[in-house]
Structure 1
Amino acid sequence: MKKILLVTDAWAPQINGVTRVLDAHIHALKALGYQIVIIEPGQFRTVSLPMYPEIRLALFARRRVAKMIAEIQPDAIHIVTEGPLGWAARAACLRRGIPFTTWYHTNFQLYVDIRLRGLLRPIYALMRRFHSAAVRTMVSTESLKSELESTGFKHIVIVPLGVNMDLFIRNSAPPLPPLPKPVFVYFGRLAPEKSPEEFLKLKLPGTKLVIGDGPDRTKLKKKYGEGNTFIGYKRGQELVDWLSLSDVFVFPSRTETFGLVVVEALACGLPVAAHDVMGPRDIITQGKDGYLSEDLSEAAVKCLGLSPTDCRKKAEQYSWEHSVEAFFNKLIFIR
């Protein structure tokens, strides 16, 4: 049985795109008979990341990570994130001459730049240095691959992401109170890098539904609660039921590398109104399953005329089975 080691600074109880991809891949790889071993922050002393208290960073991890890798003796090592554990695993692999792969999941430099100006270039350079040592760096879209290669990243390969089509299917009779139609929904993290405030400011008919949580939830609900319906974080069938009440998904983020929520909305038959940026432009077909525009109000209203069936068909192009197969084929096996 092949033993695959995943090293990640993002892990439960965090809920984000990285942890959700990990959950899907780990479940599928185990079902195929592979042994998955995880190195994650819960195995170390940690400290909260400033501005994101739910994200814990491992302290003094370098020596212990090296020891763990030696004891685990994996057949393949994949470094998921560029945090303390990722850097520790990278150092251990380089010191012992062990090949490894990485994944560029998040435009972290853009997240930081939103809060702390002036750090964009040095952080981007640090990210490039981190991934330069990998035999392969995985990304989810052609747009991201092209952008990274144009700035000096090497050995970039595409591993597409997916959606659980059995879960994300529109419920024709969700057990929820009806909302005034049409219903425009935002679901995702309530944090500056996701630009939820842009959605909250939009002038739209019917209901504006906000699904999600994050560091800005209290502030945003206090400021925009009168014209928006905040219902907190939802997951699983409960999330699907709320999406089934909705008519259009409005996605204001400009920092995505993919956007899992886009394909989840499409799977539920929701057309997507988004900006013409990386992530949405890799998924949406203009005028078919969504509209890309600088004017999200106009795009959202135009989406009301699109076919839920076409949206579902687009989501069917993204499967976790295909994603896991591509991931496994891009790993570098030590033995």
Structure 2
Amino acid sequence: MRILVVSDAWLPQVNGVVRTLDTLRSELQRVGHEVVMVTPERFRTVPCPTYPEIRLAVRPGPRVARLIEESQPCAIHIATEGPLGWAARRYCLRRRLPFTTAYHTRFPEYIKARFRVPLPLSYAVMRRFHSPSSRVMVATQGIETELERRGFHRIGRWSRGVDTEMFRPRPEAKGEGGPFAGLPRPIFLYVGRVAVEKNVAAFLALDLPGTKVVVGDGPQLDDLRRRHPEAHFAGAQFGEKLAWHYAAGDVFVFPSRTDTFGLVLLEALASGLPVAAYPVPGPLDVIGTSPVGRLDNDLGTAALAVLGTDPVLCRAHALDFSWAASTRQFIENLAPFEIICWKEPAPL
């Protein structure tokens, strides 16, 4: 099956959406599907306000239409609600082509955190975007319940996976040759974008022993470095280096209240780290009441509570999540809508 995926988020961006889609592409190809990616690299772009590393396509409609028509896919999946997503949605509606969407990011909460836009207004825009979708894919039951409460329909589950070969316990990473050698332990670790909606400041404000470490880059990085000279900022890390940094930590702290899943939770658990987080969608679904983490509105209490948790338990919990299962869910969400006839397209 030829599957066309439209996404405003793509390499070289580093975030959970990009890593999910890049892995999905590889997994789909591995099981014999052809994947066509429609991403910003094919378009003239401008920097996103407040996120200059994110590039937004300029007037993408005509080119999006050509790319869809040239590829003649069996299924169309629109992954994001940016300019490319809206252009693909508009084309599909005009041609009466079925398509699926995904709710990767809680944009209303992000926009409220940055620009104070009321949630009801932002959710109205999100409902409009997703309402024609044959299936709105979400990662967790918590997000599904929330979207249903806000008037979304035809929601399907599409969970996430973790590369358990790359992300694994590495006892040597905690030693003299590790990335945090010389830093006082325990190491309380955050990995992700350094941006206001990730609530990194709440993590850095905690009164914890040892060292707080931030791995990642983003628009808040310079400000937080100035405000928290006691913390260690390791910058953005990738691949084996990222896995090495995970394995060198003692507790993974996830301060976000707005993520729909939190792929980093699985990467930390697979690396043997217990998780401290708030009791919000994402952590509630991944951790729940498992002893591999503590969910508490007092994030400092949660972080101290899981210190010393058996890495074997954390690793075992992560092994329940696989990219193969995630990809099967994705395909199943497409299955009822995979046949698109290109011989006699509906008139514009």
Instruction: Give the TM-score taking structure 1 as reference length.
Output: 0.97
List runs of 5+ in structure 2 lacking aligned partners.
341-348
Q: Does residue 296 of structure 2 align to residue 297 of structure 1?
A: no
Q: Deviations over 1:83-115 (max 9, x none)?
A: 111111111111111101000100011111001
Q: Does residue 37 of structure 2 align to residue 38 of structure 1?
A: yes
Matched ranges for 1:69-218 at <5 A: 69-174=68-173, 175-176=177-178, 177-218=181-222
Query: Distance between the aligned counterparts of 1:80 and 1:243, measured in 2?
Result: 28
Query: Distance between the aligned counterparts of 2:138 and 2:290, measured in 1?
Result: 27
State the Cα distance separating 1:15 from its structure 2 match.
Answer: 0.8
The residue type paired with residue 320 of structure 2 is: Q
Determine the structure 2 residue equivalent to 1:259.
262
Q: Deviations over 1:139-168 (max 9, x none)?
A: 000111111011110100001101001110
List runs of 5+ in structure 1 lacking aligned partners.
none
Determine the structure 2 residue equivalent to 1:306.
309
- The 10-residue stretch of structure 1 (111-120 or 270-279) with the greater mean CA deviation from structure 2: 111-120
The residue type paired with residue 120 of structure 2 is: R
Determine the structure 2 residue equivalent to 1:318.
321
The residue type paired with residue 334 of structure 1 is: I
The residue type paired with residue 45 of structure 2 is: T
- Moved runs in structure 1, 4+ residues, more than 6 A? none
The residue type paired with residue 262 of structure 2 is: G
Query: Distance between the aligned counterparts of 1:242 and 1:91, measured in 2?
Result: 43
State the Cα distance separating 1:179 from its structure 2 match.
Answer: 3.0
- Residues 194, 252 of structure 1: 8 Å contact kept: yes
Query: Distance between the aligned counterparts of 2:61 and 2:33, measured in 1?
Result: 26
What SS does the aligned partner of 1:11 have? coil
What SS does the aligned partner of 1:254 have? coil
Q: Does residue 283 of structure 2 align to residue 280 of structure 1?
A: yes
Query: Distance between the aligned counterparts of 2:47 and 2:153, measured in 1?
Result: 32
State the Cα distance separating 1:243 from its structure 2 match.
Answer: 1.7
Query: Distance between the aligned counterparts of 1:230 and 1:246, measured in 2?
Result: 13
Determine the structure 2 residue equivalent to 1:223.
227
The residue type paired with residue 132 of structure 1 is: S
Query: Distance between the aligned counterparts of 1:9 and 1:119, measured in 2?
Result: 24
Query: Distance between the aligned counterparts of 1:257 and 1:197, measured in 2?
Result: 20
State the Cα distance separating 1:217 from its structure 2 match.
Answer: 0.4
Aligned residues: 333
Query: Distance between the aligned counterparts of 2:4 and 2:166, measured in 1?
Result: 28
- Residues 287, 306 of structure 1: 8 Å contact kept: no
Q: Does residue 268 of structure 2 align to residue 269 of structure 1?
A: no
Query: Distance between the aligned counterparts of 2:86 and 2:266, measured in 1?
Result: 31
Determine the structure 2 residue equivalent to 1:54.
53
The two structures, once aligned, show a CA RMSD in angstroms of 1.1
State the Cα distance separating 1:119 from its structure 2 match.
Answer: 3.7
Query: Distance between the aligned counterparts of 2:40 and 2:309, measured in 1?
Result: 44
